[in-house]
Amino acid sequence: MSAAKGLDPEFLRALKQKNDIVEVIRSYVALDRKGGNHWACCPFHHEKTPSFAVNEGEQFYHCFGCGASGDVVGFVKEIESTDFMGAVRILAARAKMTVPESNFDTEKALLMKKKRDAMAKIMLDSARFYLSNLYSGDSRASAHLQYIANRKLQPTTVKKFGLGASLDFYDLPDYLAGKGYSREDLIDSGVLTESRSGRLIDSQGGRLIFPIINAFDEVVAFGGRLLEKSDFAKYKNTKETMLFNKSKTLYNINLLKKLKREEPINNVIIVEGYMDTISLYQAGFRNVVASMGTSLTKDQARLVKRYSENVLISYDGDFAGQKADLRGLEILSDEALHVRVVPMPEGLDPDDVAKQGADAYQKCLDAAMPLIDYKIHATKRKFDLSKTEEKRRFVTEALRIVSQAESESVKEELLRKLHTETGITYHALERDLHNVSKEKKEPETSLPATKLSEAAAGTDKQKKAVRFILAAKLFSAPYAKDYNLRNLSLEDETDKTVAAYIIDREEKGERIRPSELFEVLDEGSAEFSEILDLNYGDKLSGEIAERFFADSVKTLERESIEREITRLNAAFVEETDESKRREITKQIGACIQKRNRLKK
């Protein structure tokens, strides 16, 4: 939850009152007043047409392009690349206010902040220690330097990424002990671990060190590579801590952020590891980050989206056969990112190709294909199309992939490519695709009640209905005034938070202020961004909006009734007592009557 929870509410309220969001943002970007909002090209992503709106009345900003949104503290936090308290101090200085440090959070939060600060210092000191080892002249660093030379990394590149050397298991513990850090903090930071004898040792002992730096230029973890053959993992990261969450971090995100300040980023290249990132960066491809060998997560997808909506996946040449990783890329598509996959030569990774020169890698980028095309490409590589049986198996699998296409035009294009590759007539492929699509459709009644409920909750139609109702209530649309949000059945945590806030304000008779939600919602909430997106132009006003609101209410009522009917049907099947079965039958009948009334 937001760090605002830890600050004296009265101070925070006064701080915001003395820092009008329009004036603060105007000091960073040029604003143009149109209608009730102030507009600008978004400072957080490249665009030519302004889609960044500042709502002066409600004191919040929202970009209808990239989804960035927040209050005045959130804006300063993002634009200055600082943390919450850093932004508070900047705004306090601007308003000539004194930050009440003694009131910041509870005693527990103060201790946590102190611990985090200590761990951040440990990480920074460790990074400097590793870096000094590399060029110390110590003979034990020769293997590290030789590896760097073999990978053809230039000194400027090594410095840019802060590469370092762990020479043994004991130098770092001795060095950090001399700095006065507590044993607990040293272990909790992940840089040191406890041996069986109880002695502290370097968790990356003997490895080449890759500092992992977050978007705020903090060293949060280390990756380490073994330099000789061993039974241990070739690469490993320090453990997850309060500073480091692997699923929310991308390697090189700090330099990507710097690049964005210098120039527009048309696309972001995602690779698997440290060396791929460093080699591509050195070859001139500065728009590169790494997922550090893990399957991509929703948090990483949202992090990438802050820099560009276009993503190029550049994994190694064996990636085509990895079904799990291919499915993982759909997370990017789910976050409305435009995904293309870069085919690598068989057996090579981006690092190998980059060594051949920038032109060689650029050719791979030029051959990038949409995700669904790449799935078919990957499937094709598993079969020998010169053999009839294997060709048929390829067509069967390829048609299943084609059936997932989001539009009929894409399906048609993919079928034409299949026709060219296999020699099978387009019309025959089209008929087979129709049969595949029919097979995919299963009757709803064959699903268990819980599965049906989950499927219903996940439909786009229902999500749109929920978000529209919440937006109409949040921005006080007159036609939504009498609707009671307690009637709304919600699954998503963000939707629940927004609804609870509105209900609380309505019951207290207080004004609903959308900006207050930034104090309780997680930062960068894509779900809340979707609600804010609806407050654009006439989307929430006029007869069309009023009809859509009514339709949305009916849609959700129907969904609720359908779920109840499904639940009652399941209960009827399980029940053996005849009197109870008759009662369930009555309840089902009542639900069906409600459903019929809604249809009318």
- pLDDT, one tens digit per residue, over 235-289 is 999 999 989 988 889 999 999 988 887 887 889 999 989 999 999 999 999 999 9
- Closest among 6, 35, 2, 227 to 112, alpha carbons compared: 6
Note the pLDDT tens digit of each residue in 179-238. Answer: 999 999 999 999 999 998 999 999 999 999 999 999 878 999 999 999 988 778 889 999
* 565 shares its domain with 550: yes
Tokens 């991308």 sit at which residue? 250
* 291 shares its domain with 345: yes
- What are the structure tokens assigned to 529, written together? 């961004």
Residue at 90 is within a domain: yes
Query: Are the C-beta atoms of 24 and 12 separated by less than 8 Å?
Result: no
* 370 shares its domain with 401: no
Give the pLDDT confidence score for residue 425 in this predicted structure.
92
Looking at residues 509-515, what average pLDDT do you find? 87
Give the pLDDT confidence score for residue 25 in this predicted structure.
93
Listing DSSP states for 497-541 in one string gives HHHHHHHHHHHHTPPP-GGGGGGTSPTT-HHHHHHHHTSSTTTTS
Give the pLDDT confidence score for residue 203 in this predicted structure.
95
- What are the structure tokens assigned to 67, written together? 């989804």
* 457 shares its domain with 593: yes
Full strand arrangement of the beta sheet holding 338-341: 288-290, 268-271, 310-313, 338-341, 369-370
Of 422 and 86, more confident: 422
User: What confidence category does residue 456 fall into, taking pLDDT thresholds of 50, 70 and 90?
Assistant: very low
* 66 shares its domain with 116: no
Give the pLDDT confidence score for residue 450 in this predicted structure.
43
Most confident range (mean pLDDT) of 48-52, 90-94, 105-109, 204-208 is 204-208
Give the pLDDT confidence score for residue 66 in this predicted structure.
83
CATH number at 306 reads: 3.40.1360.10
**Residue 327 pLDDT greater than 80, yes or no:** no
* 117 shares its domain with 199: yes
Residue at 558 is within a domain: yes
* 472 shares its domain with 548: yes
Domains identified in the chain, total number: 5
Type of residue numbered 60 = F
- What are the structure tokens assigned to 313, written together? 């996946």
Report field, pTM of the whole predicted structure over 0.85 = no
Alpha helices in 337-476 (DSSP H): 350-355, 358-366, 371-380, 388-402, 408-422, 426-440, 449-457, 460-474
Give the pLDDT confidence score for residue 404 in this predicted structure.
85
207: number of CA atoms within 13 Å, CB side? 21
- Closest among 230, 221, 201, 78 to 143, alpha carbons compared: 230
Looking at residues 380-409, what average pLDDT do you find? 89
Give dist(CA 576, CA 571) in Å, integer. 10
Note the pLDDT tens digit of each residue in 24-64. Answer: 999 888 899 987 799 998 888 777 788 899 998 889 999 98
Looking at residues 429-454, what average pLDDT do you find? 60
* 88 shares its domain with 39: yes
Looking at residues 507-532, what average pLDDT do you find? 82
* 222 shares its domain with 293: no
CATH number at 148 reads: 3.90.980.10
Residue at 204 is within a domain: yes
Domain that holds residue 263: 253-376
Residue at 445 is within a domain: no
Which residues, 6+ apart, have CB-to-CB distance to 374 below 8 Å?
320, 326, 340, 341, 343
User: What confidence category does residue 459 fall into, taking pLDDT thresholds of 50, 70 and 90?
Assistant: low
541: number of CA atoms within 13 Å, CB side? 6
Which residues, 6+ apart, have CB-to-CB distance to 371 below 8 Å?
313, 329, 330, 332, 333, 339, 340, 341
Give dist(CA 194, CA 202) in Å, integer. 9
Q: What is the mean pLDDT of the chain?
A: 85
Which residues, 6+ apart, have CB-to-CB distance to 525 below 8 Å?
494
